Amino acid sequence: MSAGTANVLMIGDVVGAPGLRALFTFLPSLIKRTEADLVVANGENALKGFGIGADEIAAMRSYGVDVITSGNHVWEHKEAPELLEAEQSLLRPANYPKGLPGRGTAYIEGGGAPGQPAPTRACGASGRFEWLVVNLQGRRELYDIDCPFVKADQILATAAREHPNALIIVDFHAESNEEKEALAWHVDGRAAVLAGTHTHVPTADERILPKGTGYLTDLGMTGPVDSVIGMNGDICIRRFLTQIPYKMETAEGSAAIMGALFRLDPESRRCVSIEHIFESL
């Protein structure tokens, strides 16, 4: 592992079988090359572009993903409530209304996935650091769920009391760039990293905010390259031309893995560098 830094590899939305194929092809070597201590990937599109199932969770975990975050599409399939309750490594946004199944944060202490001891792990979290992974969802152009700013304050206040040494990583699944940037500034100095997901388009605005939070508006997409945000382009064009909501289908063909590596100073819990990840088949 890289001396002196804690390294978190964050992977953009995994889309269907092509996205899983890109993970299988690139993630194990990326973990080695980047000396990643923790791998977080958004998996809400892993099952044919919409939602996630038990097989997709097992595949992502076997390729080296420690925590699977999600967003609005995690509810697409009827087995979602059971999966969210049973799978400790699968998160749903923490700011959905109280009482829904699942959890919006994952605390990892001494390596291993949430709820699993370190010796069961084949790769991923090194066991050198404490981590708290937080999944939140935006409200602009999405659902009118609980305020992500208020929920972030609640989670971070609890973490300061219960896990004061944890490195806090936030996946903010949101449509609005403004909302993503605003939340990053709101948690600056309290979270080590805030990276956006959902738009499937990687942004080039990576930066370290004044109090040390590493920020990127969107990690991009891990999935088919010749596509419209991972979907079949012909169907997308037809939808725009006719305004008829034809059923979307995952595109086929070559695939890429997209994301970013954030290197953190474990003592100050500040981000010290950000590196884009993009590799294609």
Question: Max Cα separation, the chain?
Answer: 56
How far, in Å, CA of 220 to CA of 104, rounded?
21
CATH topology of domain 6-280: Purple Acid Phosphatase; chain A, domain 2 (3.60.21)
How far, in Å, CA of 170 to CA of 152, rounded?
9
Its pTM stands at 0.92
Average pLDDT of the segment spanning 213-231: 95
- Digit-coded pLDDT (tens) for 113-163: 564 433 333 345 666 899 999 999 999 999 999 999 999 999 999 999 999
Name the percent of the chain lying above pLDDT 90.
90
- Digit-coded pLDDT (tens) for 185-196: 999 999 999 999
pLDDT confidence of residue 123: 43
What does the domain layout of the chain look like in residue ranges?
6-280
In the sheet where 105-109 sits, what is the strand order?
105-109, 130-137, 167-173, 193-197, 214-216, 207-208
186 a catalytic residue: no
Q: Does residue 59 have a pLDDT over 50?
A: yes
- Digit-coded pLDDT (tens) for 229-259: 999 999 999 999 999 999 999 999 999 999 9
Q: Does residue 1 have a pLDDT over 80?
A: no
Among residues 73, 173, 198, 200, which one is catalytic?
Answer: 73
The position carrying tokens 């490195």 is 167
When pLDDT is cut at 50, 70 and 90, the band that residue 109 belongs to is confident
Q: What proportions of the chain, in percent to the nearest 5, are helix, strand and coil?
A: 30, 30, 45
How far, in Å, CA of 272 to CA of 64, rounded?
24
Sign of CA dihedral 31, 116, 173, 37: negative
How far, in Å, CA of 204 to CA of 192, rounded?
19
Q: Does residue 198 have a pLDDT over 80?
A: yes
